[in-house]
Structure 1
């Protein structure tokens, strides 16, 4: 009769131990647990004049933990200029030109580029992008479509996604890209230009 309560007690304590161990393993560790370092003042992005980096996101960090994430923005006017330049270089039929112009998103496009370690680390559907205005109201949110990357060098792989962005008045938006696999959030400031 004493065996049953003792076995039940041991099973109870074993269950508590496994529960505690599981919650410890589920917690992010290292840099992810501390969060990303932030700049004192947002830094202009070297490739996109409309974007400023709020969280530190350097090439050195991608060598350490494969966490490089870049946000770019291409306005509809910039894309139209590029198509006009390509039209001069190539002998396009009018239908090709019209099809390309019609495919330009009216609000421009966000370009998300990531470098991650290993081919499975570049799964773009691990990323969720959220845009909020100055009042903190969410104006755009999307989980990136599934996709894999290509070999970038060493053990890094690169993934790239272009997201059509809705047309909005010129304003400053806060953009956050959350990586559910790395437990990290990358923050940016996007300044939408006036329509030209």
Structure 2
């Protein structure tokens, strides 16, 4: 084998290797998404939902930096039932209306997902997957949200919300993560399910 053919083969191998490396670099997320979101040393209780603690930093200041804010809330069955009872008295519902509303309450309560994103296309709920795991790592709930876009929230931010029926479970602490496939980010939370009253 001549020296020129060896050099040519070596050059081709290096060219293919560099092209492969370049295509891999393009596919990887960059910036803050590549590094992941910052985490609290100790989980922080959510201001709006007493059952949820934020594990990843997810504040209004973070929203101003990268335009992504995701909040998880939880409303148990008993709270939803109390709300239906109050509305029944306020609106003087007929029994059929009350029974229909009562039957629509999920037995395990609801998870409330709220997102703020820059640009209307980024506030697409279909990009989110919610996964809950028990303390031993067993997956107990997983759902990719149905498509739905957001409304204008202010400046260049759009807001989208979704209530997700949650299955009835024993009182326990769950790890919940919301993965945004478009931003390559995962938002982590701790959810404490209350005892049924």
Alignment TM-score, normalising by the size of structure 2: 0.91
Q: Whole-Å Cα distance in 1 between the matches of residues 15 and 125 of structure 2?
A: 38
Partner secondary structure for residue 21 of structure 1: helix
Match of 2:184 in 1: 183
Q: Which moved more, 1:24-33 or 1:50-59?
A: 24-33
Summarize the alignment of residues 1-196 of structure 1 with structure 2, pairs less than 5 Å apart. 15-196=16-197
Q: CA RMSD in A?
A: 1.9
Cα shift readout 1:79-98 (whole Å, capped 9, x = no counterpart) = 01111111111121111111
Give the Å deviation of 1:62: 1.1
Q: Whole-Å Cα distance in 2 between the matches of residues 118 and 51 of structure 1?
A: 27
Cα shift readout 1:47-90 (whole Å, capped 9, x = no counterpart) = 11100001100011112212100000010110011111111111
Q: Whole-Å Cα distance in 2 between the matches of residues 11 and 127 of structure 1?
A: 42
Partner secondary structure for residue 25 of structure 2: helix
Give the length in aligned residue pairs: 194
Could you tell me which runs of 5 or more consecutive residues in structure 2 were left unpaired when the two chains were aligned. Answer: 1-5
Q: Whole-Å Cα distance in 2 between the matches of residues 74 and 107 of structure 1?
A: 9
Could you tell me which runs of 5 or more consecutive residues in structure 1 were left unpaired when the two chains were aligned. Answer: none
Give the Å deviation of 1:14: 5.1
Q: Which moved more, 1:22-31 or 1:8-17?
A: 8-17
Give the Å deviation of 1:153: 0.6
Cα shift readout 1:6-61 (whole Å, capped 9, x = no counterpart) = 99987766554433222111111111111111111111101111000011000111
Q: Whole-Å Cα distance in 2 between the matches of residues 35 and 23 of structure 1?
A: 19
Q: Whole-Å Cα distance in 2 between the matches of residues 124 and 7 of structure 1?
A: 51
Q: Whole-Å Cα distance in 1 between the matches of residues 150 and 13 of structure 2?
A: 46
Q: Which moved more, 1:157-166 or 1:9-18?
A: 9-18
Q: Whole-Å Cα distance in 2 between the matches of residues 159 and 14 of structure 1?
A: 46
Match of 2:3 in 1: none
Give the Å deviation of 1:157: 0.5
Partner secondary structure for residue 96 of structure 1: helix
